[in-house]
């Protein structure tokens, strides 16, 4: 009886503190909301990049096929031309084309992985962070999806007031970005924060070094 009561209390607690994607992706925060079916983008016209990207991962799919071939980046035609970013903007910029909805979490079908190569889902990321540190949080989201059966992810992008720009289309370079991984039904939530520094040292980097209090986001 006591166990049942505790489970009910735990369930009510989880619901009352449930994460609402609409707190981040809404008409007030976003110049345009782009529905890619497998994920959703909150786009900022001024920065020519995403502010938030959110999605749900099915644990039975994330490791189902693992398509190896990667797609070419493509310009998001759902955006007005003057606010689009292009793959060529990154050439010789010193920054990687960094995924927010990462390809490895959606490589269970050609159609889904293709959607992650929209330039609206891409931000300028420092190479070391993109390839060695941020990737650890991406791997964790898949691991937790498998363990819990399903998880939700929100990726947030932080731009400074005097942000650096790259390319002929003047794409804004984020000062930092974060990832929230959560499943409110079981009370799981973890958040990770990364500064977008070009000279970051990843030698002793651990995922726990990036853990932050989710309530600060």
Query: Is 129 within 8 Å of 43 (Cβ atoms)?
Result: no
Residue 52 burial (CB count, 10 A): 24
Res. 17 pLDDT band, cuts 50 70 90 = low
Res. 8 pLDDT band, cuts 50 70 90 = very low
Query: Is 73 within 8 Å of 107 (Cβ atoms)?
Result: no
Query: What pLDDT is recorded for position 201?
Result: 87
Query: Is 117 within 8 Å of 110 (Cβ atoms)?
Result: no
Query: What pLDDT is recorded for position 18?
Result: 80
Q: Tokens for 117?
A: 């190569």
Segment 162-192, tens digit of pLDDT: 999 999 999 999 999 999 999 999 999 999 9
pLDDT of 6 above 80: no
Q: State the Cα–Cα distance between residues 63 and 83, nearest whole angstrom.
A: 35
Segment 111-133, tens digit of pLDDT: 999 999 999 999 999 999 999 99
Alpha helices, DSSP H only, in the chain?
Answer: 2-16, 110-115, 127-128, 134-148
Where is pLDDT greater, at 66 or 14?
66
Q: Where are the beta strands (DSSP E) in the chain?
A: 32-35, 40-44, 49-58, 96-99, 122-125, 150-158, 165-166, 171-172, 176-183, 188-195, 211-212
Taking Cα atoms as reference points, which of 70, 71, 122 lies closest to residue 97?
A: 122
Q: State the Cα–Cα distance between residues 9 and 198, nearest whole angstrom.
A: 46
Segment 46-95, tens digit of pLDDT: 999 999 999 999 999 999 999 999 899 999 999 999 999 999 999 999 99
Angle at the Cα of 120 from the Cα atoms of 154 and 35, rounded to 5 degrees: 65
Tell me which CATH homologous superfamily contains domain 20-216.
Extracellular Endonuclease, subunit A (3.40.570.10)
In sequence order, the 6+-apart residues with CB closer than 8 A to the CB of 189 are: 19, 180, 181, 182, 183, 214
Q: Give residue for tokens 């190479």.
A: 127
């Amino acid at each position: 009886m006591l166990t049942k009561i505790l489970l009910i209390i735990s369930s009510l607690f989880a619901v009352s503190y449930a994460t609402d994607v609409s707190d981040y992706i809404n008409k007030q925060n976003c110049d345009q909301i782009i529905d890619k079916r497998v994920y959703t983008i909150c786009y900022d016209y001024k920065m020519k990049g995403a502010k938030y990207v959110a999605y749900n991962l099915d644990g039975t799919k994330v490791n189902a096929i693992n398509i190896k071939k990667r797609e070419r980046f493509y310009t998001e035609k759902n955006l007005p031309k003057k606010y689009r970013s292009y793959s060529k903007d990154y050439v010789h910029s010193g920054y990687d084309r960094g995924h927010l909805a990462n390809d490895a979490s959606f490589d269970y079908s050609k159609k889904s992985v293709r959607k992650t190569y929209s330039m609206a889902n891409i931000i300028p990321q420092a190479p070391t962070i993109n390839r060695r540190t941020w990737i650890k949080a991406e791997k964790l989201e898949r691991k937790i999806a498998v363990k819990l059966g399903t998880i939700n992810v929100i990726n947030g992008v932080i731009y400074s007031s005097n942000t650096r720009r790259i390319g002929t289309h003047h794409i804004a370079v984020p000062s930092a970005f974060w990832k929230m991984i959560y499943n409110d039904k079981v009370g799981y939530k973890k958040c990770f924060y990364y500064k977008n520094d070009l000279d970051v040292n990843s030698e002793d980097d651990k995922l726990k070094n990036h853990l932050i209090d989710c309530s600060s986001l």
